[in-house]
């Protein structure tokens, strides 16, 4: 048995969610579809999860979205679930264990979708919160030679964001041929860790 939401209808519902026009009844229909087994879906799981992320909130549907944080069959879905909970709904503090795990890399996350999402989440969270363990993992990701080059570069960018550098500053330095060097950020991060770590 499959859900009654076709792929084309799911795309229309996503457009409505993006524009703020999704009705409560339509959101309920998407939620019911996501509550069933993923293999029973006609529509794309990623699209349905995206709709809930845009049209709902953590108080109503955190439990539903949490089901997909470790969705090994489809790593982009796992990445989106983590982003919805942390970046869109502001629940990073409740999900730090999952963020750290994704940041360290998982065998099932071959294209590092979840790891890239975790880099973004960690960088944003560390701008306003002290978490030396998370900062160390983010720094290690930036230096991990087994990580994909794009992941290392993004992790380095997020270290810069965590240390208070603005998006504009980091992009300007990169486009002007004066990228933020890993050594410079490493020194700044070491100074921050010395302030934040006990003893």
pLDDT at 25: 97
Claim to verify: residue 42 and residue 103 sit in the same structural domain: no
Q: Is residue 154 part of a domain?
A: yes
pLDDT at 115: 98
Q: Please, what sign has the CA dihedral across residues 140, 142, 143, 149?
A: positive
pLDDT at 58: 96
Structural domain span for residue 22: 1-56
Q: pLDDT means per 10 residues in the chain (199 residues)?
A: 75 97 96 86 88 97 96 95 98 96 96 98 97 95 93 93 87 59 78 88
**How many domains are contained in the chain?**
2
Q: Is residue 65 part of a domain?
A: no
Q: Which of 31, 56, 81 is the last residue of a domain?
A: 56
Claim to verify: residue 179 and residue 120 sit in the same structural domain: yes
pLDDT at 80: 98
Claim to verify: residue 96 and residue 150 sit in the same structural domain: yes
* DSSP annotation of 91: -
Claim to verify: residue 48 and residue 80 sit in the same structural domain: no
- Helix/strand/coil (H/E/C) assignment for every residue in 54-112: HHCCHHHHHHHHHCCCCCCCCHHHHHHHHHHHHHHCCCHHHCHHHHHHHHHCCCCCCCC
């Amino acid at each position: 048995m499959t859900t009654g939401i076709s792929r084309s209808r799911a795309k229309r519902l996503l457009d409505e969610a993006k524009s703020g026009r999704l009705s409560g009844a339509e959101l309920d229909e998407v939620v019911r579809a996501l509550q069933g087994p993923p293999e029973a879906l006609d529509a794309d799981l990623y699209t349905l999860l995206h709709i809930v992320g845009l049209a709902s909130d953590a108080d109503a549907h955190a439990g539903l979205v949490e089901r997909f944080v470790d969705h090994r069959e489809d790593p982009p879905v796992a990445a989106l679930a983590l982003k919805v909970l942390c970046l869109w709904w502001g629940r990073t503090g409740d999900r730090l264990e999952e963020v750290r795990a994704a940041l360290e890399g998982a065998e099932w996350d071959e294209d590092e979708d979840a790891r890239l999402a975790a880099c973004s989440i960690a960088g944003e969270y560390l701008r306003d919160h002290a978490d030396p363990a998370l900062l160390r993992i983010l720094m290690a990701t930036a230096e991990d030679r087994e990580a994909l080059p794009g992941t290392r570069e993004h992790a380095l960018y997020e270290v810069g964001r965590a240390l208070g550098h603005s998006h504009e500053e980091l992009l300007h330095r990169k486009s002007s041929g004066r990228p933020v060097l890993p050594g410079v950020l490493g020194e700044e991060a070491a100074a921050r860790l010395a302030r934040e770590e006990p003893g």
